[in-house]
Structure 1
Amino acid sequence: MDALRERRMRAVELFEAGRRQVDVVAELGVSAQTASRWHRAWQTGGREALVGVDRLGRTPRLSDEQLAEVETALLAGPKANGFSTDLWTLARVAEVIERMTGVRYTLSQTWLILRQRLGWTRQRPARRAVERDDAAIEAWAKRDWPRIKRGLAAAAPGSASPTRADSRSCP
């Protein structure tokens, strides 16, 4: 963003020095259309016309304040927002946004808000059995698995041949 502003300001300096649009194209490496647009803006509004805005693109439909309120609601969790399970989905997040702000987003737009504006990442719940006993698993891995692994290595290699290796052929 700053580099673009610096190039526009350099173009203003060139225009003020009496240089032509073609000189701006050659020196700054911009297209002829861009140089023409900058020149036209400079002629009508001077230097201020090319200072530019801080943000490019469409203005967001959610203000920073609204987004902060939505994030607070999301951090409270799905159950606090009236859902039956403690798992966020994009559809649920979109529903909370619409309920709080009146702005409806598609699932892909909702994901962009979460990722780009809030800095959230996708996370999936760990699927583990409720009965899982981590202490028992760790004890098994230390006590039983080395014994089982040794037993597999000590076993004689098997043969895929249907005949015995020690049989002799008949004359």
Structure 2
Amino acid sequence: MQAVELFEQRVKPSEVARRLRVSVKSAYLWHQLWQDGGVQALASRGPSGSRCRLSQRSLEKLAVYLEQGPAAHGWVEDQVWTASRVATLIGRKFHVSYSVSGATRLMHRLGFSPQVPARRVAERDEQAVTVWKEATWAEVKGPGRPAGATSASRTKQVSPAGRRGDGPGAGAG
């Protein structure tokens, strides 16, 4: 409790904030809490947020289910665990409702990461896609802007007539 030691030495909250690299507002709040309730008022109350709705044993079971893969639990179209699937699995197995973001946090806690399945049409013709990219896209895309017409300013475009020929990089190219 470095802040308490400094407050006991009559160091001002603004100086405490500077020394401990926290906001001045936090230092003044700590100082007020310390004055009103002493050291106990500044004691940590543990992590914030809601606590996990699954027991340690349930978390271990969930890890086993995730290791088994999606196909073992009815998702046979691909072998990826999405956060949505994990939330559904938790609901089915443990009768506990989790949001997609909550399921993502649980997955990270267990050492997994949610995956995003590839969305491709089953009838996709890879050869036709390749031909389109090489022929049609090259025509549609166009050449782009010439290198000399760019400007470093986002608000005022440079005029080609206003360029100096003797500036830095004038001979480059």
- Please report the TM-score for the alignment, with normalisation by the length of structure 2: 0.52
Pair 23,104 (structure 1): closer, same or farther in 2 beyond 3 Å: same
Which residue does 2:39 correspond to in 1? 47
Which residue does 1:104 correspond to in 2? 97
For structure 1, the residue ranges without an aligned partner over 5 or more in a row are 1-8, 126-171
Pair 47,56 (structure 1): closer, same or farther in 2 beyond 3 Å: same
Cα distance, 1:117 vs. partner?
0.6
Does the Cα contact within 8 Å between 2:33 and 2:42 map onto a contact in 1? yes
Letter in 2 for 1:17: Q
Cα distance, 1:95 vs. partner?
1.4
Letter in 2 for 1:46: G
Q: Which has the higher helix share?
A: 1
Cα distance, 1:124 vs. partner?
8.0
Alignment partner of 1:117 is 2:109: yes
For structure 2, the residue ranges without an aligned partner over 5 or more in a row are 118-173
Cα distance, 1:36 vs. partner?
1.6
Letter in 2 for 1:37: L
Cα distance, 1:53 vs. partner?
4.1
Pair 79,29 (structure 1): closer, same or farther in 2 beyond 3 Å: closer
Letter in 2 for 1:62: L
Letter in 2 for 1:36: Y
How many matched pairs?
116
Pair 36,58 (structure 1): closer, same or farther in 2 beyond 3 Å: farther
State the Cα deviation string for residues 71-127 of structure 1 (Å, max 9, x = none): 12222344543x16273442332211112333322334323321x2111145689xx
Distance 1:20 1:124 in 2: 52
Cα distance, 1:32 vs. partner?
2.0
The correspondence for 1:74, drawn from 66, 70, 74, is: 66
Cα distance, 1:41 vs. partner?
2.3
Distance 2:17 2:75 in 1: 60
Letter in 2 for 1:101: F
- The alignment-based identity, stated in percent, is 37
Pair 60,51 (structure 1): closer, same or farther in 2 beyond 3 Å: same
State the Cα deviation string for residues 20-41 of structure 1 (Å, max 9, x = none): 2222123223222101211122
Does the Cα contact within 8 Å between 2:7 and 2:31 map onto a contact in 1? yes
Does the Cα contact within 8 Å between 2:62 and 2:90 map onto a contact in 1? yes
Pair 63,36 (structure 1): closer, same or farther in 2 beyond 3 Å: farther
SS in 2 for 1:66: helix
Point out the structure with max Rg over C-alpha: 1
The correspondence for 1:31, drawn from 19, 23, 27, is: 23
Pair 52,84 (structure 1): closer, same or farther in 2 beyond 3 Å: closer
Pair 35,93 (structure 1): closer, same or farther in 2 beyond 3 Å: same
CA RMSD of aligned residues (A): 3.0
